[in-house]
Chains A and B, each alone.
Chain A
Amino acid sequence: MIRFEAVEKWFGQHQVLAGVTGEVKRGEVVTLLGSSGSGKSTLIRTVTRLEDIQGGQVLFEGVDVAGRGVDINRLRQRVGFVFQAFNLFPHLTVLGNITLGLKRLRKMPKAAARARAMTELDRVGLADKADALPSRLSGGQRQRAAIARALAMDPDVMLFDEPTSALDPEMVGEVLRVMKSLAQNGMTMVVVTHEIGFAREVADTVWFLDKGQIVESGPPAEVLDDPSHARLRSFLSRRR
């Protein structure tokens, strides 16, 4: 579904992605581990061209996302993106956040958009907060609302960039539970996270990114329990 082929990314003189190659299959859950600055965010942002790349290719359903014929706004509708800082729109209610794309991009009538949004809010356990402004929600609720916003567009794949890193510890669980049930329902997901437990339990594949390269990848049991790479060993030991 998503293929990275020798992807290179530079910020000025600083190389952040140094030839990343890997594939995310339909229905697969990939978690992306790596220490701070290793390029995890940058890598998933290349999928929807929030970052442009200088070398290699990113393919979505076999099509180069930077290709001439690609309508990037269309592609972005098919790829849900969940940010560390939620990025809900503060001037809209939770419901308004979710229906905006449905009404303006999918051209759904108001009632249909509302019904669709309520379905998603139900799924993340926030139906009773539909009319609240984001400022009135807890961190965990905000992130679940942001996930519902992405899901409402009916994406083929969901990208998560450290969805629980900005949360108080007691709220991490509620967000991870939502993500886990998504995975169980067959959603294709790429998850940047520091939650090793989540990786172990939910991921099909773990990628360990170091200095802009995937230095280790495989099923969680292999990669996490028997790391061959010294940097992964020390990364994991810091998170026991």
Chain B
Amino acid sequence: MGYVFDPAAVLTGQYLDWFIWGVATTIALTVAAWLLGMTLGIILTLVRTLPFRPLEWVVAGYVEYHRNVPLLVQILVWYFGVPQLLPRAIRMWVNGHHSEFLLAMVALGLAKAAYITEDLRSGIRSIPKTQYEAARSIGFNYLQAMSYVILPQALRIVIPPLINQTLLLFKNTSLAMAIGVGELTYRTREVDSYTFKTFEAFAVATIIYLSISFAIMALGAFADRRLKLELR
């Protein structure tokens, strides 16, 4: 008997539930890590642009670590290494509260922040110094000038690279399966090993990944159109 491609076989009953949970977890992990990465990326950018050189070196070290150590290793360090350093009470609490999701989110978010601060810094460099001067002349202090005038412009300038970063983050959430996070790839493996429908299971996963990626790109293009700076 020949092979029959039968995706319906992996999209029924508990297998469908597993896929749904997988997608939900993947999206939740993407969103949580994205928010962490953006927030931290902005903070790092503010810190490194302060007129105090040693801060710049600290951030540079941070960036180099996260860009040059494989992301999987970073995730494993957070999962196996970091909890050992925590006080017992906190460790117990973390372990009782889906530590794998939390730690994967932290690892992915911190790594993302390194890329985001690099993008933001080059965005800031492309804004004329006179914008900063005009903000200070109104009476804003450094932090206010950055928050209300410089960063809002820099963020608009870096929307295209940010879309790329978001896509990479979304795909990289699959690495979290290595520490047992029940995201889409992990669940796909599970469906595969219960049904032996390997091709069907991964075909479904592939289509889901592609659809969400396209949705992110469309959303990003929309944001870029709406928010792009009109300079001339």
Contacts and interface: CB of A to CB of B under 8 A. Distances in A.
Given A87-B130, A91-B156, A104-B148, A81 B137 contact: yes
A73 B140 contact: yes
Contacts of A136: 230
B131 interface: yes
A76 B230 contact: no
Contacts of B130: 83, 85, 87
Interface residues of A, number: 25
Contacts of B141: 73
Interface string A117-136: 00000000000000001011
B144 interface: yes
A50 B140 CA distance: 13
B140 A135 contact: no
A192 B16 CA distance: 73
B229 interface: yes
A95 B152 CA distance: 17
Interface string B168-194: 000000000000000000000000000
B92 interface: no
Given A87-B133, A90-B153, A91-B156, A104 B140 contact: yes
A88 B137 CA distance: 12
- Most chain B CB neighbours (cut-off 10 Å) among A50, A90, A149, A153: A90
Nearest to B228: A91
A91 B139 contact: no
A48 B140 CA distance: 12
A149 B152 CA distance: 19
A87 B136 CA distance: 12
A100 B138 CA distance: 9
A133 B226 CA distance: 13
A77 interface: yes
Contacts of A77: 138-139
B20 interface: no
A74 B229 contact: no
B138 A91 contact: no
Contact of B136 (A76, A91, A133): A76
22 contacts: A48-B137, A50-B136, A50-B137, A73-B140, A74-B139, A76-B136, A76-B139, A77-B138, A83-B130, A87-B130, A89-B134, A89-B135, A90-B153, A90-B230, A91-B156, A100-B149, A101-B138, A104-B140, A104-B148, A105-B138, A105-B144, A153-B139
Q: A-B pairs with the 8 shortest C-beta distances? A: A77-B139, A87-B134, A135-B230, A81-B137, A76-B139, A101-B138, A73-B139, A87-B130
Interface of B: 130-131, 133-141, 144, 148-149, 152-153, 156, 229-232
Interface of A: 48, 50, 73-74, 76-77, 79, 81, 83, 85, 87-91, 100-101, 104-105, 133, 135-136, 149-150, 153
Given A101-B138, A150-B138, 14 more contacts: A73-B139, A77-B138, A81-B137, A83-B130, A83-B133, A89-B134, A89-B135, A90-B153, A91-B152, A100-B148, A101-B139, A104-B140, A136-B230, A153-B138
